[in-house]
């Protein structure tokens, strides 16, 4: 499959702005407890994707575009999933957002990084 983009938020392609793009798969558990012998007892719920984005240096207009996309409680994300060479789409929310300071000489904003966490799951409850 030809890869035409890595990540879009609400239809806006972020690929030209990206420095790094990584996807992790977080397992969710409930009723997780350890007994006195150290044995973990927990109920598996599902696996959910988490996307890590690190952006290159950007102009004020570029960072305003990106920040505008991230300034919602939830948004639609389409992303490339390397594990099965397909595109997927789901509702996400923003996790940690880290913004670098603007370089006063070049007027370029230093790197911006964010993680996006899916509201959905890759697997149903077992």
Residue ranges covered by each domain of the chain:
7-118
pLDDT at residue number 123: 45
pLDDT at 125: 34
C-alpha–C-alpha distance, residues 126 and 19, integer Å: 37
Distance in angstroms (rounded) separating the CA atoms of residues 75 and 7 = 12
First to last CA, the chain: 31
Q: Where are the beta strands (DSSP E) in the chain?
A: 7-9, 12-13, 18-34, 40-55, 75-81, 86-99, 112-118
Q: Does domain 7-118 have CATH number 2.40.50?
A: no
Measured distance CA(87)–CA(3) in Å, rounded: 9
Give pLDDT < 50 ranges for the chain. Answer: 123-126
pLDDT at 33: 86
Q: What is the pLDDT of residue 78?
A: 96
Closest CA to 100 of 87, 91, 110: 110
Structure confidence at residue 122 (pLDDT): 60
């Amino acid at each position: 499959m030809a890869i035409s983009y890595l990540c879009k938020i609400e239809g806006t392609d972020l690929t030209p702005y990206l420095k790094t793009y990584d996807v992790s798969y977080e397992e969710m558990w409930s009723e997780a407890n350890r007994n006195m012998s150290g044995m973990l007892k927990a109920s598996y719920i599902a696996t959910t994707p988490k996307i890590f984005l690190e952006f290159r240096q950007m102009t004020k207009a570029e960072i305003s575009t990106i920040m505008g996309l991230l300034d919602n409680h939830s948004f639609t994300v389409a992303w490339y999933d390397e594990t099965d060479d397909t595109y997927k789409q789901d509702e996400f929310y923003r996790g940690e957002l880290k913004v670098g300071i603007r370089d006063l000489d070049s007027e370029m904003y230093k790197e911006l990084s964010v993680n996006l966490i899916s509201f959905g799951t890759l697997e149903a409850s077992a």
